Structures are given as C-alpha cells and as structure tokens.
Amino acid sequence: MDDDELEQVITAEASNTGALSLDWQGWLRVNGSRLLLFARQQTRNGSDAEDVLQDALVKLAKKVAENTFVGGQEAWMPFLYTQIRREAIDRGRKDDRRRKREEKVVDDAKGLTTVEGDTWFLDSNASGEQTKLVEEALKELPAKFAEVIVMKIWGERTFDDIGKSLDISLHTAASRYRYGLEALRKKLAAARIRGDI
C-alpha cells in the first residue's frame, strides 16, 4: 500500500473514532517524520527531540481518548506543533537550570551530541553532504526563522496555522519566512562558493 492509499485508509478509520480504536501507528507513519523534524529543530539533540515529541503525542492521545480535544483530526497537527514547541521550551529551561546547578560546562552545541542516525533529512534525493549542509544551515539560523521555515516547507502549515502555534500574527510569520529563506539562501550560497556543495 503506498502512502496515499495508507493516508486514505487512516483518514477513513480516524473519522469514525467513536466506533474504532485509533490507528496511531498508521497515522504516525504518515505524519511522524515531519513532527520529529520540528522537534529536532526545537531541541538540542535527538533524544530530547524524541522525548518532547512523545510528551506532545501523549497529550494528544489523552485528549482524544477523553473526548476533550477541540476540533477534528485536522486540528491534531496544529495542536502538536504548538505542544512540541511548549515542551521544548520547558525542557530548555530545565536543562539550563540544571546546568547552572551542576556548574558544569556542557558543550551540547549543534552537532556535537548528535546521536548516530540522528540526521534531519533523508539522503535519498540528494547527496549526504547536501542534506548535512541544509541541516547545519537551519541550525545556524535564528530559531524564530528556522521554526517558521520548518513548519512551512516540511510541515506544510499555512501562515495562519504557524501564527497561531507560535503566537504571532500571520504577517509576522510570513515576514520571518521570507527573511529566514533569504538568510538560508546566503548561507547555502556561501557553501557553494566554498565548494562544499
């Protein structure tokens, strides 16, 4: 079964959530990768990303099971993007406090604590070097630009959805997207000139 057919089956099953148990596995197969990408962009390393994503998914599952989720299945993704971001911010604050308490300099800068296999993009359509460069360029961008780019391009969210998730206006989301893309273009152009690509 290809992805389109799988998505149709999941949609048909999920629309009748009252009678059938939800096929979370099927739904995650379709949507999990883009959520994990966003979680990776929001956190400092791969394991934090997975934890943050798991916490957000558990909250969704709880709300759906208790029938307290406002909105239909189309509202799951906006909810999860918002929740992932919140969990990541909370985790970042806790880590900062713990680090200060331990008085230890932990160098968890981008890439240094990368878990093997913890790459943001698949290598299938491009060389491994290109995907790595795009990943590094996104990590170097200011977070407020990178998160909008990730949500827009790979999350396929609208600027309105992005604004609501990030608690900014639609226009601010669109501006950050344009500025972010411009900054990304310059970084990648510099890499081309260096011969990295």
Partner 1 sequence: MDSDLQELENELREFAPSPMSGEVLSRMVRAMERWEENADGVDEAAEIGKIVDFPSEKKSRSSWKPMWGAAAAVAILGASLGFLVPPKLSENVVTASSVEAVPVLRQASLVPVNVQRKISSVNTGQVADKDGLEYQVIQVIRREEADFRGDDNVGLKITRPKVDNYLVPVSY
Note the residues at the interface with partner 1 (CB under 8 A).
24-25, 28-29, 32-34, 36-37, 50, 53-54, 57-62, 65, 86, 117, 119-122, 124-126, 130-131, 134, 149, 153-154, 178, 181-182, 184-185, 188
SS (H, E, C) 36-69: HHHHHHHCCCHHHHHHHHHHHHHHHHHHHHCCCC
**Which C-beta is closer to partner 1: that of 89 or that of 106?**
89
d(CA 123, CA 61): 32
User: 113 with 148: CB under 8 angstroms?
Assistant: no
d(CA 89, CA 36): 16
> Closest separation between CB of residue 34 and partner 1, Å?
5
Query: Cα torsion at 134, 3, 87, 183 (round to 10°)?
Result: 20
> Closest separation between CB of residue 134 and partner 1, Å?
6
**Which C-beta is closer to partner 1: that of 113 or that of 119?**
119
**Which C-beta is closer to partner 1: that of 57 or that of 162?**
57
> Closest separation between CB of residue 143 and partner 1, Å?
17
Q: Which of 46, 44, 38, 41 is nearest to 91 (CA)?
A: 44
Please, which residues have CB within 8 angstroms of residue 108's CB and are 6 or more apart in sequence?
Answer: 44, 45
> Closest separation between CB of residue 25 and partner 1, Å?
5
**Which C-beta is closer to partner 1: that of 75 or that of 106?**
75
> Closest separation between CB of residue 28 and partner 1, Å?
6
Kindly tell me the burial class for residue 31, based on how many C-beta atoms sit within 10 Å of its own C-beta (0-12, 13-18, 19 or more): middle
**Which C-beta is closer to partner 1: that of 106 or that of 115?**
115
